[in-house]
Amino acid sequence: MGNDLVVPAIVAVTLVTVAIGFYGLRLARTTSDFLVASRVVSPTWNAAAIGGEYLSAASFLGVAGLVLKYGVDVLWYPVGFAAGYLALLLFVAAPLRRSGAFTLPDFCELRLGSRRLRTLATVFVIFIGWLYLVPQLQGAGLTLATLAGSPYPVGAVVVALVVTANVALGGMRAVTFVQAFQYWLKLTALAVPAIFLALQWQADGRPAVTPPEGPTFRTATTVVVEHRAVLTLPDGQTREVRPGDELTFAAGEPVPEVSGVATGPTDWLLPSDAGSDDRGLFATYSLILATFLGTMGLPHVLVRFYTNPDGAAARRTTLVVLALVGVFYLLPTIYGVLGRIYTPQLLVSGQTDAVVVLLPEAALGAGTTGRLMAALVAAGAFAAFLSTSSGLLTSVAGVISTDVLGRGSVRGFRLATVLAGGIPLVLALNVSGLDVSQVVGLAFAVAASSFCPLLVLGIWWRGLTDAGAAAGILVGGGAAVTAVLVTVLGPPLTGWPATLTAQPAAWTVPLAFTVMVAVSLATRRRTPADTARTMLRLHAPDVLRR
Amino acid sequence: MGGNLSAVIGVLSLVTALSAALYAVARLRGRRGIATAGQRATYEVLHTAGLAAEPLRAGLTPAGAAKAARHLRTLVGADGLALTDTDRLLALDGRGAHHTEQLSAAARRVVAAERSTVLGESELACDRIDCPVRGAVVAPLAGAEGRVVGALVAVTDDVPAPGLVQATLETAHWAGSQLALAELDSSRERLARAEVRALRAQISPHFIYNALTAIGSFVRTDPERARELILEFAEFTRYSFRAHGEFTTLAEELRSIDRYLTIERARFGDRLQVRLQIAPEVLPVTLPFLCLQPLVENAVRHGLSRKPGTGMVSIEAQDAGAECHITVEDDGVGMDPGTLTAGIAALAGATGDPGEDSGQHVGLSNVDERLRSVFGNEFGLVVETGVGSGTRVSMRVPKFHPGVRAGS
């Protein structure tokens, strides 16, 4: 793994990010011209910034890894990650901007006038933020371990330290310019190597992605197993492997079937049968619900909408985000598919999340092109960790410093940042066995079962009360949180309990909606007196208020 | 996994213990912990009074009166209780619904005489055989400065006992003081609004004079520019004197500052340099109307007026998480911090001569007070200055604050 270009590329990305954060405003906006100084952020820039903050390690690494491992079933992940903005566009974007709320707790206070509900929302924002930060750090550890051969904790600690220091010292306060830059960097880092990979695939005579006899090793390969699994060898024997085992395969030898992985052509190419295993129809619907409805509850995405001058601009921004994010998600799929041809050893080793960073060198060879492409992909991956973690950390530290530590000073914000960055780092160092995308999927599930009902009902239904909202968040969100904790930290489960906890959204989201509506109807007396005025503020077109 | 599992169990038990402790504290602070009958009675009276106080603090309205009457009846211990304003009955709780005419007539008499009265059976005659109402006590409600704003009527099934009369009088007295507080609240708001108006009126004299002379000097030499300046001036006054809305956005405030500086540039020419550094993310931030412009005015006056050569005014607005940090800086002569504090103190106490810088003090302390009253005490202005080293005024504005809304 001696790619000497990877580390310089990563360092360059980090330095550029930090430098633009600190000096970008000074260079770009120091002027004596008021027209320049009061130019608002255009929807296109803001959309690129949202994209930059949103496309995380899960999107950059995880989606390709899942496609490699499970096949077409998991295409719902990229589809859902992008389509979440459709729900945001339809139900939330413009009214939320018109409300003037900056964070989700702000929205609670504004709509329902309850300090307690605000506190509850704060707790959920922190939980979702942390849950989302863990896979980012995990991805960083994995990338650095794979490409530079460092131990797993190094990458996680490096990213956590860089981001925490940067945010605490004020270098990364939602700087639109930096985040927009990160989006285009990520897109380039995946798109350019993808073109080369496609050309290489052509040149190799378009090897079949799913040959009838299953995937084979193209070259002699030694695999170091990272996850415990049961292998079914071609001659029918089974063999249990443990982390650390080394297996050697000759060129042309078929890849053994690995337990829990869609190895054979039909498993990979066809949706899995409902009920036959953990990822049945229920899990798919759950995933769709979580990703479609969870996006609107992500703290770092919502704060960016405040930058828009009005509701119409917020809506336009969302539309552009939908396009940008949609384009991006085509690429990881290509990596996952080509990974079956060029890096089948990952199926055996279990490190499928590393397919994006390993594929360029595996397919293009260790020549200059291959190494350059690998470095580019690594830089893009680091951009993903940095931008998403910065956005999340800023949001979480913001709510901690205002709502937990009290109306904070700069020092309070710094303390909050260290607190907000330290805890996910500890968690990331202790859970390394989970798929990056799955943890992110869980964060979406929690957001979909707590904030989605709150936002949708709060914006579109007059009858919502603070008691109803609190009950809905506690029951629905609490159920999702419990499911997450059981999945991440609890004992391994099988059958229905495993599905219900690994993909909880399909039962927790309806539960949250039902409880919220029922309790609101039961406590009708508590409807805020100024509901009508708040509703007017949320829904009246911007031009009417000038 | 075993380690993780024990960690989860540990965390869960910690959380459970914590919530149990919180619950226990909440219960202990509740009424269970009150030992003697006397303490319990005190608690109950004060608790009921607190419940009644809340609606009363919003003023004497039918909706508020209806909510308050329920608790006031418990407090007085009467069978029915009504609240009236100076001429009609606002709310009635309990007995006496068919006596409203007689009760409100009695209340009007009480309000006019400003003296309480007791109604007997003869004054409450009615043709219903089963009517249990035998008497009523009517007491005036004295609001701020002893003005009678309404009456409290306690209805009873019995001949009014001295105890009931006394309780009614005391309750009416207490309710009156709550109404006085309500009035105080609204007058404080009126005062704040009046201050904004005063600030608007205050901008004008010097500036209008200077602006008009500067424009006047261009009328012959450069009529086109003079015309533009007059239009800028008109737009500027339209914004500054606008009648509606207590809040504005940073973008709009900057637009007005731009017009102001255009006019000042006509006067000072190249002597006035401006440097701007505005993070685009904070342009939509909502802040009190005209809270930045007085600072810029001060900076121009201080950065230029008493020193030769050019003066630089820089305005910075930075994004800081949930807040926006704004600073206005000049490189003028500065001032002694002691003088500034003394000037503001003299202004606050309204004693002594505020001195030649009074305009500055009024501007700064007005902005400071308005920021504090809107966002809370920790959001005041911070002024850093020294003789010969310029002045730097900074403020923090939260991106969201309940009740703060542009254009409302």
**pLDDT tens digits, residue range A290-315?**
999 999 988 888 888 888 888 899 99
Same domain, yes or no: B385 and B246: yes
Q: Does some domain include residue B143?
A: yes
Question: Closest Cα to residue A103, out of A538, A396, A516?
Answer: A396
Q: Which helix H or strand E contains B350, and what residues bound it?
A: none
- How close A429 gets to chain B, by Cα (Å)? 12
Average pLDDT of the segment spanning B344-355 = 50
Q: Does some domain include residue B385?
A: yes
Two structure tokens written together for A527: 């409807």
ipTM: 0.83
Helix A115-148 vs helix A410-430: angle between axes, to the nearest 10 degrees? Answer: 50
Same domain, yes or no: B152 and B240: no
Q: How confident is the model at residue A509 (pLDDT cuts 50, 70, 90)?
A: very high
Task: Please give the mean pLDDT across all residues of chain A.
Answer: 84
Q: Shortest CB distance from A397 goes to which of B321, B405, B408?
A: B321
Task: Please give the mean pLDDT across all residues of chain B.
Answer: 80
The pLDDT assigned to B354 comes to: 41
Asked if the model's pLDDT at residue A336 lies above 50, the reply is yes
Least confident of A312-321, A420-429, B360-369: B360-369
The pLDDT assigned to A264 comes to: 66
Give the Cα separation of B265 and B245 in Å (integer).
29
Q: How confident is the model at residue A400 (pLDDT cuts 50, 70, 90)?
A: confident
Q: Shortest CB distance from A176 goes to which of B278, B281, B400?
A: B281
What are the C-alpha distances in Å from A342 to residues A216, A345, A356, A372, B161? 9, 9, 11, 18, 99
Q: Which residues of A touch B405 (CB under 8 A)?
A: 100, 537
Would you list the domain boundaries of chain A? 6-22+41-205+213-545
Q: Which residues contact A208 (CB under 8 A, 6 or more apart)?
A: none
The pLDDT assigned to B351 comes to: 42
Indicate the residue among B166, B185, B204 that finishes a domain.
Answer: B185
Same domain, yes or no: B239 and B166: no
User: For position B145, which CATH number holds?
Assistant: 3.30.450.40
Q: Does some domain include residue B55?
A: yes
Give the Cα separation of B151 and B175 in Å (integer).
10
Asked if the model's pLDDT at residue A1 lies above 50, the reply is no
The pLDDT assigned to A190 comes to: 92
The pLDDT assigned to A84 comes to: 92
Question: Closest Cα to residue A122, out of A477, A486, A485?
Answer: A477
Least confident of A136-145, A187-196, B278-287: A136-145
Q: Which helix H or strand E contains B314, and what residues bound it?
A: strand B311-320
Q: What is the dihedral of CA B40, B43, B46, B51, to 10 degrees?
A: -110
Place of tokens 């910034």: A49
Same domain, yes or no: B178 and B245: no
SS3 A407: coil
Per-residue pLDDT reduced to its tens digit, B75-108: 888 888 888 888 888 888 888 778 888 888 888 8
Asked if the model's pLDDT at residue A429 lies above 60, the reply is yes
Q: Which helix H or strand E contains A279, and what residues bound it?
A: none
Q: Does some domain include residue B74?
A: yes
Per-residue pLDDT reduced to its tens digit, A268-282: 777 765 445 555 788
The pLDDT assigned to A91 comes to: 92
Q: Shortest CB distance from A29 goes to which of B279, B320, B376?
A: B279
Same domain, yes or no: B177 and B301: no
| A506 in contact with B, Cβ within 8 Å | no
Q: Which residues contact A537 (CB under 8 A, 6 or more apart)?
A: A98, A99, A100, B405, B408
Helix ranges, B244-289 (H): 250-268
User: For position B299, which CATH number holds?
Assistant: 3.30.565.10
- Residue B372, Cβ density class (10 Å: 0-12 exposed, 13-18 middle, ≥19 buried): middle
Domain total in chain B:
2
Q: Which helix H or strand E contains A22, and what residues bound it?
A: helix A6-29
Q: Does some domain include residue B27?
A: no
What residue of B is the nearest CA neighbor of A31? B276
Same domain, yes or no: B226 and B369: yes
CATH code given to domain A6-22+41-205+213-545: 1.20.1730.10
Owning domain of residue B362 = 222-398
User: Would the CB atoms of B280 and A174 count as touching at under 8 Å?
Assistant: no
Size of interface A-B (CB pairs under 8 A): 117
Asked if residues B116 and B171 have their Cβ atoms less than 8 Å apart, the reply is: no
Average pLDDT of the segment spanning B104-131 = 82
Same domain, yes or no: B109 and B180: yes
- How close A271 gets to chain B, by Cα (Å)? 31
| A410 in contact with B, Cβ within 8 Å | yes
Same domain, yes or no: B249 and B304: yes
